[in-house]
Amino acid sequence: MANPVEVLNSARKQAGKAAALSAALTGLPVAGTLATFGLLLSITSASWLERYGVLLTPQVAHKAEAVIFALVFLVVLATLAGASQAYLKASRPQDVAARIDRELAAKEEIVTFAEASFSEDSGSSATARSPLFPLLSDRVAGYLESFEPSRIFAIPTRRVVLRSSLTSLCVLITAFTALLVYARLTQPPYASQIETLHELASKLAESSPSPENAVLAKRLAAVADVLANPALTAREKLERIAALKREVEELERRETAQKNPQSSSAGSSGSAHNKGSGSGENSGNEPAGSGNGEGQNERNQGGGGKKPSKRQTTSSPVNEANREIAEIERELEQQSRRSRQSSTGFERPNDHQQQEASADTGPGENPTKSSGPKPGVNEPQKGNQPEPEQKLAGANAKENLRSPRRGTGLGDTRLGEIPAPANYKRFYAFGEHGPGLTVKDARYVVVSLPPAPQAASGGKIVAGGPSAKATTPYANLPLPKEDLAANPQQQQLVPPRYWDLLR
Amino acid sequence: MGVAPRMSPAERVAEFRDVFTRAETEVGRVIVGNQSTIRKILTALFCGGHVLIEGVPGLGKTLMVKTVAQVLGLSFKRIQFTPDLMPSDIVGTQVLVEQDGRRDFQFKPGPIFANVVLGDEINRATPKTQSAVLEAMEERQVTVLGTTYHLTPPFFVLATQNPIELEGTYPLPEAQMDRFLFKVIVSPPKPEELREILIRTTGAVSYQPKPIFEPAQAAAHVERLKALVREVMIAEPLERFVIAIISSCTPGSPAALPEATQYLRFGPSPRGAQALIMGAKVNALLAGRVNVSYEDIEDVVIPALRHRLLRNFQAEAENVTAEAILEQVLKRVKRARA
C-alpha cells in the first residue's frame, strides 16, 4: 500500500510545477511579443517603411524602444515572481489535498489527513493527535493507491496557450495603438511636408552645385522651419510660401531657358487677350505645335511654342519642390479658412475672394503664375482647340492663384467648392430696430430698395470682352456684423402665427 | 454487550455504528415514521446535548423519548410542566427527616436526577421554573440551599412544547433555547403511517423495546461512545465552512446575508457552531468515517440553528421562517465553497 504522505508530497511537487509552468507560459509569450515589437521598431525605423520615420521621429522611436524593453524586463520579472508564487501556492498541502479530494470524491478525508500529517510544520497538531488518525490514514492510503499526480495536476496546455495567445495579441494591439496615439499626439502639423521639403532641399543641393540651387535649398529648408514653427499663423505661413514659390518658378524658368535656349519663344506670341506669358518647353520637332501656355485665350490662337517631342517621365527636384509647395499652400489655405470659420462662426462669401484678390497685382496680371507648360509634366496640347477650362487672364488671375496644381495636368480640383452656408440672422426681435411695424390693416406697403452696393475692394469695371466684367467678381457688400443685445434664443423666436408668412 | 477497553479505532467506529443503528431500529419499532427525528434525538444524545421537540399533541413525542431511554437502558424521569410547578419540584428539596430521634434535613432529589429527563410541555411553566432547568442543562449540576449536587452522566433533557396552544404559556427565553443542541419538529403521520400506528396501538399486543445495554452499564457505554464522537477529526476548511454559516446568519456581521439582516434580530451564538460540529461528527461516524465532511455539516444545519435565529417583526409579519433563511444561507455558502 502506498504511503499517503509520500504520494501527497509528490502531488504537491507536481501541482507546484504545473502552476509555475502555467504562469510562466502565460507571461513569457507576452514578454516575447513585446520584445519582438521593440526589435521591429528598431529595425523598421532604419529600414522598413520610409513613412515610419515620419510617423515616429528618431527621438520618439528611441524612447519607445527604451520603454518597450523596460516593459519586457518588468514582464519577465513579474512572470518569474508569479511563477514562484504560483508554485508556493499550488503546493500547499491543504490545496493539493482538496483538489485530490474533489477528484476522488473522498469526502474531505484527504484534506483532513493532509492537515493532520503536515500540521507539525505549522504547529497546530490538534487533529494529528486524534486516536482515530490511523484509521483515517488507512482509508486515505486506499484512496491514493492508484492515484497518479501527473494525471490530475497536468499542465493545461491548451488553456495556457489560448490564454497566452490572447494576452499577447492584446498586448500587441495595445502597444501599436499606444504608439500610434503617442505619435499622433506628439507629431507636429505638416510633419510629412516638412520631411519632404528637407528631402527636396538635400536633393536640390546634391543635383547641381549651382549657387541658385544652394540658395533655393536653403530657402526650402527655411520654409520647412516656417511650417514647423507653431508661433506663425497659417496666413503668415502662406505668405512665406508664396515668396518661395516665386523663387522656385523663377529658378524653373531659368532652368528651362538654359536647357532649351532655342525654344524659349513661347507665350509672347499668345493671344492679344492675354498678358500671361507661357514659357513652355517646346523643343520638339513637330511643326506648328502650339504651346499650352496659361496665358493663351479661349480660342487658343497663339501658336508660338512647339510641342514637346517626348514626355518627360522623370521630374526634377525643382519641379517636385513646386508641386510640394503647391500642396502645402493648398492645405494652409484650407486651414486658414477653417480657422476663420471657427472664429467668426460663418464664412462671409467674399472673404476668400478678397484675400485672393489682394494677392493679385492688377487686372490681367498673374504675378505668381502665368507661365507656360512646365518641363516634363505637361501633357501635349493640340493647337487651335478651344479649351473651356482656360479663361481670360484678367478673370482667372484668382483662379491662377487658387490652382497650385496648374501645369501638372490635374486641372483645377477646387471647382466644386462652394461657400459654406452661413448662419444669417434673418429675424429681429420685435422692436429691436425702431418701433415695431404693424401691417395688419395696411392696404399697401411701400418697400424701398437699398442703394446699389459698391465693390468691396474698389474694383473697377473693365471693357474688352463680350460683356463688361468687374475685376472683383462679387459686388455685394458683406452683411454687417450683427451684435444684438438679445440672446440667441430670443433672436430665433418667431411667433407661430408668422410661420406661414415666412414660408 | 460488555465494555471493551482495548479496541482498535475501526472496531470502536463499528461499535458506534452498531449501537446507533440498533437503537434507531428499536425506537422505530415503537414509533412509526419520523425517522429523521429519531436520528436527531439519538445524535444529540451521543453529542451530549439536549433536544427540544416541537409538535402538536398526540404525535408520540413523549413515547418517543421514553422509548429512547428504554432502548439505551438509561434511567428516565418525566416532568409535566404546569404553571404552578415550582423549581423545587424539579431539582428537589430538603425535607425534614426524623431518624434515631434526631431531626435532620435531607435532600430529596427531584426528577431532574435521571439520565434521560423528559420536560413535557416545558413552555407551560413559569420562567422561574424554566430557569431552574437552565443550570442543570448546562452545568449538569443543581444547587439546593447552597449545596451543589452533580447529575449523573449521561444527562439528557428532552423537552417538548406545543406550538398551537399558546394561551397561558411562557415562551422559552432565548438563553434557555440556546441550551438545546437541536430543535426537532415532529411531523404528523402520513396515512400509511397512521394505519400502522393504529395497528400497533389498538391491538392486544404492544411491542416492548429491548434495551441495548444492561442498565447498570448503559451509562458507561454511552459515555464511551460520546468520547468517541469527540475524537472525530475535522479539517480547517470545514471549520471555516461552519464559521461562514454562522456569520452568514448573524445580523451585523460583515458576512451576513441580506436575508439575515432583513429578517433577524439575533443570530446563532458560538453554541450553534459547536452544535454543528458535534452533530456533523456523529454523522461522520455513522457514515463509517473518522473525519467530518461538508455533507455531515449541512445535514445538521437546520435542527441545530433553527431555534437560535431570533426573527424580527417583519419576518413574523411576512411569515418568513427560520428554516427558509437557513436554506438560503446553505445555498449561498455552498456556492461560495464551490
Q: What are the residues of chain B with a beta carbon less than 8 Å away from any beta carbon of chain A?
A: 8-10, 12-13, 231-238, 287, 289-295
**pLDDT 10s digits, A373-386:** 444 444 444 444 44
Higher pLDDT, A396 or A15: A15
Q: Which three cell numbers stand for residue A100?
A: 485530490
What is the predicted pLDDT for the residue at B282? 93
**pLDDT 10s digits, A285-343:** 433 334 343 433 333 343 333 434 334 444 566 677 777 777 777 777 777 777 666 65
What is the predicted pLDDT for the residue at B285? 92
Q: What are phi and psi of A175, to 5 degrees?
A: -65, -45
> What chain B residue is nearest to A132 in terms of C-alpha separation?
B9
Q: Which three cell numbers stand for residue B68?
A: 429512547
Q: What are the start and end residues of each CATH 1.10.8.80 domain in chain B?
A: 232-337
pTM for the whole thing? Answer: 0.58
**pLDDT 10s digits, A454-483:** 555 555 655 555 655 555 555 555 666 666
Residue A124's contacts (CB-CB under 8 Å, 6 or more residues apart) are: none
Q: What are the start and end residues of each CATH 3.40.50.300 domain in chain B?
A: 9-198
Residue B283's contacts (CB-CB under 8 Å, 6 or more residues apart) are: B43, B292, B295, B296, B299, B300
CATH of domain B9-198: 3.40.50.300
In the DSSP assignment, the letter for residue A423 is -
B233 CB neighbours in chain A (<8 A) are: 112, 116, 127, 130, 132-133, 136
Q: How far apart are CA B89 and CA B111, in angstroms?
A: 8
| β-pair type (B147-150, B141-144) | antiparallel
Contacts 24+ apart (CB under 8 A), A223-227: A223/A197, A223/A325, A223/A328, A224/A193, A224/A194, A224/A197, A224/A198, A227/A189, A227/A190, A227/A193, A227/A194, A227/A197, A227/A328
When pLDDT is cut at 50, 70 and 90, the band that residue A493 belongs to is low
**pLDDT 10s digits, A146-201:** 777 777 787 777 888 888 888 888 888 887 787 777 767 766 667 777 777 777 77
Classified as helix, coil or strand, A25 is helix
Query: Between B12, B235, B295, which is nearest A112 by CB?
Result: B235
Task: Average the pLDDT over each of A497-501, B14-18, B87-91, B195-199 and give the range with the smallest value.
Answer: A497-501
B237 CB neighbours in chain A (<8 A) are: 94, 98, 108, 111
Tell me the percentage of chain A whose pLDDT exceeds 70.
49
When pLDDT is cut at 50, 70 and 90, the band that residue B315 belongs to is confident
What is the predicted pLDDT for the residue at A360? 39
Asked if the model's pLDDT at residue A209 lies above 80, the reply is no
Top residue of B224, B234, B291 to mutate, by most chain A CBs within 10 Å, is B291
For chain A, what is the mean pLDDT? Answer: 65
Asked if the model's pLDDT at residue A405 lies above 90, the reply is no
**pLDDT 10s digits, B214-245:** 888 888 888 889 999 999 999 888 898 999 99
ipTM over 0.90: no
What is the predicted pLDDT for the residue at A410? 53
Class assignment of domain B232-337? mainly alpha
Higher pLDDT, B271 or A283: B271
What is the predicted pLDDT for the residue at B64? 86
When pLDDT is cut at 50, 70 and 90, the band that residue A14 belongs to is confident
Between the alpha carbon of residue A275 and those of residues A268, A288, A365, A461, A462, the distances in Å are 9, 22, 7, 18, 15
What type of residue is B74?
L
Residue A287's contacts (CB-CB under 8 Å, 6 or more residues apart) are: A306
Q: What is the mean pLDDT of residues A411-434?
A: 61
What is the predicted pLDDT for the residue at A310? 39
**Element (DSSP H or E) covering residue A173:** helix A157-186
